[in-house]
Amino acid sequence: MAYSFDFSSLLDYTPVLVDGVVTTVALTAVSTVLGVALGVGGAAARTSTVKPLALVVGAYVELIRNTPFLVQLFFIFFGLPSLGIRLAEWQAAVLAMVINLGAYSTEIIRAGIEATPKGQIEAGASLGMTGPQIFRYVVLGPAMAKIWPALTSQIVIVMLGSSVCSQIAAEELSFAANFIQSRNFRPFEVYFLATALYLALAVGLRWVFSLMGQRMFAKGVSRA
Amino acid sequence: MRFAKILGALGLATAVLAGALAPTHAKADALERIAKEKVLRVAVPQDFPPFGSVGTDLKPVGYDIDTATLIAKEMGAKVELVPVTSTNRIPYLTTGKVDLVISSLGKNAEREKVIDFSTAYAPFFNGVFGPDDIKAEKPEDLEGKTVGVTRGSVEDIELSKIVTDKVTVRRYEDNNGTISAFLSGQVQLVATGNVVAAAIFERNPPRQPILKFLIKNSPCFVGLNKNEGPLLEKVNAIIAKAKDDGSLNDIAKKWLHAPLPKDL
């Protein structure tokens, strides 16, 4: 146990680490917005009465949830160029994260939608609301309030999973850590710091989402 | 007086020990022995393709094995291949177990203290490779282009020193990632070793890695024991002849899928 830490060797690489954190946050922010939007759409489609649509979305969800993220990422980055679709590493990373989060959040939001009591939907219909109006004003709000903690966890998982994108040379936090330790040969210090940064990011993300949840659902009817 | 005696004994012991531990260089008669016994013993790699690996018939094959065979043939001797690893190849030579080391051996000052080197017989270098339609003759030409490299490798460190911010360097986890990125067109060029480039060529890809320029050059030499002047001259003469008549070039094309560099 006689290891002497030398964090000073990391000082030269501060810009690399800062870039890494910024890229990780940016990747997570963009894919969260697009991924949750995809999830809402997916959940609506999966619970809709249009059977083919529900089936197609179901197939997408099962495909993504039953294959590894790394393989999905490699498929997009190394595979698609064979079809003439060449994406930059950040585009491939965002696309993979959106598709991945979209599938998981579809399932999470669907659970919330299906937990909505039938009576509420009938009440909306008896007020003369159309299908989309019922979904927007009666179903979605309470559903999101119910599943908000689960969705938060999933987004944290996606943020941590973005470390895999270092494999296609997307220069996020893990890439920065790997890069630095291949230069200064101080893996313990580097990964120590990277772990701390990921932890801080995850805690921060949960905090932001909990604040957002309180704001959005404070007056909600279905505070469980 | 006892003190002087002890000191004297110590000195004697040290001298004996030093004598016993000194490397037992073979005497300068290796060439004679080879001519008499008609056997040339060569240390070759067996874990470093394409220089030396074990073929499907469990016999060593590769660039180094072909070179050893060629040298033995020119000497009128039978080749005896001794598989070695990169750590024990020089001890095999200095302890007289082999006559030559042909094992993708690079030259450096430390090794030159212990053994002699022939002229270079094989190219070994890091460079920037890419398809024919991309022009890049020097580091400045890379500006505005994307170059793939394996993170933390020698070529990564060397490339990072010579390129400016205008060059997009994409660093991958391992050689496979770098090769995939090149083959799928995610990077225009790759910085890697000529051996890796040869491995890409072997797959007959649509995008061929052709050498653009060198980053770091450390060709391979035949290693010999010190004080083996006649053998060294003979080996150098054979290598020179093989370069002239194209037989070494054939070996290079066979194993490295590229002709010998002109300055080798």
Domain check: are B88 and B154 in the same one? Answer: no
Cis, peptide link before residue B50, omega less than 30° from 0: yes
Chain B nearest C-alpha distance from A93 (Å): 14
What is the model's pLDDT at position B168? Answer: 95
What is the model's pLDDT at position B261? Answer: 87
Q: What does the alpha-carbon distance between residue A30 and residue A213 come to, in Å, rounded to a whole number?
A: 19
Tokens representing residue A162 in the block: 């973005």
Whole-Å CA distances, A134 to A18, A113, A209: 45, 12, 26
Question: For residues A3 and A179, which has the higher predicted lDDT (pLDDT)?
Answer: A179
What is the model's pLDDT at position B86? Answer: 84
- Mean pLDDT computed over A36-54: 95
Query: pLDDT 10s digit of each residue in chain B, 264 long?
Result: 566 666 666 565 555 555 555 444 445 688 989 989 999 999 999 888 899 998 888 889 999 999 999 999 999 999 999 999 888 999 999 999 999 999 999 998 889 999 999 999 999 999 999 999 999 999 999 999 999 999 988 899 999 999 999 999 999 998 889 999 999 999 999 999 999 998 888 887 888 999 999 999 999 999 999 999 999 999 999 999 999 999 999 999 999 988 898 888
Q: What does the alpha-carbon distance between residue B256 and residue A173 come to, in Å, rounded to a whole number?
A: 38
Tokens representing residue B54 in the block: 């074990």
The DSSP code for A128 is: T
User: Contact, B184 vs A89, CB < 8 A?
Assistant: no
Contacts of B184 in chain A (CB under 8 A): 77-79, 81-82, 86
Q: What does the alpha-carbon distance between residue B55 and residue B68 come to, in Å, rounded to a whole number?
A: 16
Domain check: are B137 and B51 in the same one? Answer: no
Contacts of A78 in chain B (CB under 8 A): 180-181, 184, 186
- Give B199-245 pLDDT, tens digit per residue: 888 887 888 999 999 999 999 999 999 999 999 999 999 999 999 99
Contacts of B185 in chain A (CB under 8 A): 81, 86
- Write phi, then psi, for B187 (nearest 5 degrees): -125, 150
- In sign, the C-alpha dihedral spanning B204, B205, B208, B214 is negative
* Residue A223 pLDDT exceeds 50: no
Contact A167 B177 (CB under 8 A): yes
Cβ partners under 8 Å of residue B217, min gap 6: B124, B125, B126
Domain check: are B136 and B156 in the same one? Answer: yes
What is the model's pLDDT at position B202? Answer: 82
Q: What does the alpha-carbon distance between residue A117 and residue A114 come to, in Å, rounded to a whole number?
A: 8
What is the model's pLDDT at position B13? Answer: 59
Interface residue of B161, B179, B180 to substitute, partner A, most A CBs within 10 Å: B180
Within-domain flag for B2: no
Left (φ > 0), alpha (ψ -120 to 50) or beta: where does B159 sit?
Answer: alpha
Domain check: are B45 and B103 in the same one? Answer: yes
Compute the CA torsion angle B251, B256, B257, B259 (nearest 10 deg).
-60
Distance between alpha carbon B136 and the CA centroid of its chain, in Å? 26
Chain A nearest C-alpha distance from B172 (Å): 6
Beta bridge partners of B52: B48
Question: How does residue A2 score in pLDDT terms, banded at 50, 70 and 90?
Answer: confident
User: Contact, A35 vs A162, CB < 8 A?
Assistant: no
Within-domain flag for B1: no
Cβ partners under 8 Å of residue A19, min gap 6: A171, A176
Within-domain flag for B263: no
Interface residue of B151, B159, B174, B176 to substitute, partner A, most A CBs within 10 Å: B151
Domain check: are B30 and B117 in the same one? Answer: yes
Q: Amino acid letter at B82?
A: V
Determine contact: A78 vs chain B, CB below 8 A: yes
What is the model's pLDDT at position A224? Answer: 43
Q: Which of A81, A86, A167 sits opposite B173 (nearest CB)?
A: A167
- Give A112-164 pLDDT, tens digit per residue: 999 999 999 999 999 999 989 999 999 999 999 999 999 999 999 999 999 99
Domain check: are B113 and B135 in the same one? Answer: no
- Write phi, then psi, for B223 (nearest 5 degrees): -95, 135
Question: For residues B56 and A203, which has the higher predicted lDDT (pLDDT)?
Answer: A203
- In sign, the C-alpha dihedral spanning B84, B90, B93, B96 is negative
Q: What does the alpha-carbon distance between residue B68 and residue B62 come to, in Å, rounded to a whole number?
A: 10
Is the interface score ipTM higher than 0.95?
A: no
What is the model's pLDDT at position A113? Answer: 95
Closest residue in A to B206 (Cα) is A82
What is the model's pLDDT at position B211? Answer: 92
For chain A, the domains span 11-217
Domain check: are B47 and B133 in the same one? Answer: no
Domain A11-217 CATH assignment equals 1.10.10.60: no
What is the model's pLDDT at position A182? Answer: 87
Domain that holds residue B187: 125-217
Within-domain flag for B11: no
What is the model's pLDDT at position A222? Answer: 47
Within-domain flag for B173: yes
Q: Where residue B167 sits, what CATH number does that domain have?
A: 3.40.190.10
Closest CA to B222 of B133, B100, B110: B100
Domain check: are B102 and B225 in the same one? Answer: yes
Domain check: are B51 and B95 in the same one? Answer: yes
What is the model's pLDDT at position B264? Answer: 81
Question: What DSSP element (H or E) covers B223?
Answer: strand B220-225
Q: How many domains does chain B have?
A: 2
Beta bridge partners of B225: B115
Domain check: are B155 and B195 in the same one? Answer: yes
